Amino acid sequence: MPNPAGPRIAILGLHLEANAFAPMTTAADFRERSFLAGDAIMKNARSAAPIWPMEVPGFVAAMDRMGPWRPVPILVAGAEPGGPADHRFIQDCLKRMHGALKAAGKLDAVYITNHGAMITTEDPDPDGELYAMVRAAIGTEVPIAATVDLHCNPSRRMVDSVDVLIGYITNPHVDMRERAAEAAHALKEMMGGVKTSTAFIKLPIVAPTVTQLTAAGPYAELIALGQKRLAPEIMNVTVLGGFAFSDTPKNGLSIIVTARGANPTPARKLAREIAELAWANRQRFRAKLTALDDAVKMAKQTGGDPKYPALIFADVADNPGGGGGGNTTWLLKALHDAMVQGMLFGVFIDAALARQAHKLGIDARFDATFNGAGETDYAKRFRAQARVTALHDGRFVGRRGIFKGGTVEFGPSAALDLGGISVVVGTQRQQCADPVFFERLGLDIGKARGVVVKSRGHFRAGFDEFFTPDRVIEVDCPGLTSPVLSRFPFKRLPRPSIPLDDDAVWAPPF
Ligand SMILES: [Zn+2]
């Protein structure tokens, strides 16, 4: 009998896209970015400009629209993509979630909001541990829906522990709220008695990030096929490109089809059809980048002559949204050495430099040292004469793309004019995926001859009002998120796999 006060639905989740080659993601990194428990989850979800992750506001809004319900908000935590999570912190979160689920009394459903490409310092599948823990805590009769990022590396344990696993269908990711609403509707169906059966296929294709766009290309064709095949018996089609840098045995392009009813055939048939298309197109999952020297030549040309169209250059190998530091200097130094004009560059993460600019004040001229606080293999020191042109506290509401409508915190920030190149310097790692990162500092993208963004692909949904796809230049520099996978000492990736190995083989499992 449905309760007139509405179903009791627990909400919990963890978000971390973990890059095995980046420095450890600490408890402080989670607390700094997103760590909400109990009622704070609901308050944030129903606020005008919620903090990330956007799935929770999407889920709550969809549930609110469907009638009375009783949320049981437990814990939602997420950090900016970074290195493996501190294992102890994740264990503490899981323990806390388990305790809350056990103490919650009778639940009607559970919603898990999750990225799905986390590793900890000890565990290659903590997301699987989360899902299995939830299932064990609530038993087999209570439906669970999980939403994951399209860069999720799903394990068999994840797929088997939930009734439906729903991945984003957009990259750049702009459908978090919609997918969470889909989870709400799926839970409603399942609370009404609908059972599901799921087919899961993983291919030996570890797709470089830049080959996973959903506007066009091999991955877009897989997503489109899956969406075209939605039918009354098919509840959800999820095609996950995965995140190579997690370096786990569960890496690989994954297809998960969830069908209504106990008959396994419809889900299997469709999963196989999509997998066969992916395999037929496997050679297209290779990164094609522009060499640094060529990119500088292009920037010099557009900067010096208005008859050439303005360009946007993506420093794809130093994407904070994939675990990069946002502080490599290859591109900045090369553009500066070439005396490129009319260029905006953002965002460079250097807390000490941002602090120094704030201390010096607007119009101050100084000898700026990027990465002055210390060098790493990727973050080399770079010096240039600079003038402070703007200062900001780094808190704003996103305007376009993945940050749209959400509160963004990137700490004290400054615009530095290096003579031809205006650099936005920030404090907390964030990828430059929204024009507001420049606009808040008074920089006019419409007037720039070129823009550099430290972002792999999400910038496309923010800057497409200025730059058509043919004006996007993906530059090949060293970095923790380089799409040139052969440069990384992978240890746990399944091998052989495309594009690292030519001898990868695959046959349909059913
Ligand atoms: Zn993603």
Q: Where are the domains of the chain?
A: 1-194, 196-287+486-510, 290-482
DSSP 8-state assignment for residue 420:
S
Q: How would residue 466 be classed by pLDDT, with cut points 50, 70 and 90?
A: very high
Q: Could you tell me the CA-to-CA distances from 239 to 23, 149, 224, 229, 254 in Å, in that order?
A: 29, 10, 10, 13, 6
Could you tell me the two tokens for 186?
Answer: 């799926």
pLDDT the model gives residue 1: 54
Q: Are 1-194 and 196-287+486-510 in the same CATH fold?
A: no
Q: In CATH, what is the architecture of 196-287+486-510?
A: 2-Layer Sandwich (3.30)
pLDDT of 3 over the 90 cut:
no
CA of 307 to the centre of ligand 1 (A): 36
CA of 354 to the centre of ligand 1 (A): 28
CATH number of the structural domain 1-194: 3.40.50
Burial code of 408-433, b = ≥16 C-beta within 10 A, e = fewer? bbbbbbbbbbbeebbbbbbbbbbbbb
CA of 241 to the centre of ligand 1 (A): 9
Q: Could you tell me the CA-to-CA distances from 97 to 12, 142, 416 in Å, in that order?
A: 7, 16, 45
Could you tell me the two tokens for 210?
Answer: 């830049």
Classify 202 as helix, strand or coil.
strand
CA of 54 to the centre of ligand 1 (A): 13
DSSP 8-state assignment for residue 82:
B
Q: Which of 274, 220, 300, 206 is nearest to 460 (CA)?
A: 220
CA of 45 to the centre of ligand 1 (A): 21
CA of 382 to the centre of ligand 1 (A): 30
Q: How would residue 30 be classed by pLDDT, with cut points 50, 70 and 90?
A: very high
Q: Considering the chain, what is the average pLDDT of its residues? A: 97
Q: How would residue 4 be classed by pLDDT, with cut points 50, 70 and 90?
A: confident
CA of 151 to the centre of ligand 1 (A): 5
pLDDT the model gives residue 310: 98
CA of 117 to the centre of ligand 1 (A): 9
**pTM confidence score:** 0.96
Cβ atoms of residues 197 and 259 within 8 Å: yes
Cβ atoms of residues 428 and 411 within 8 Å: yes
User: Averaged over 339-344, what is the pLDDT?
Assistant: 98
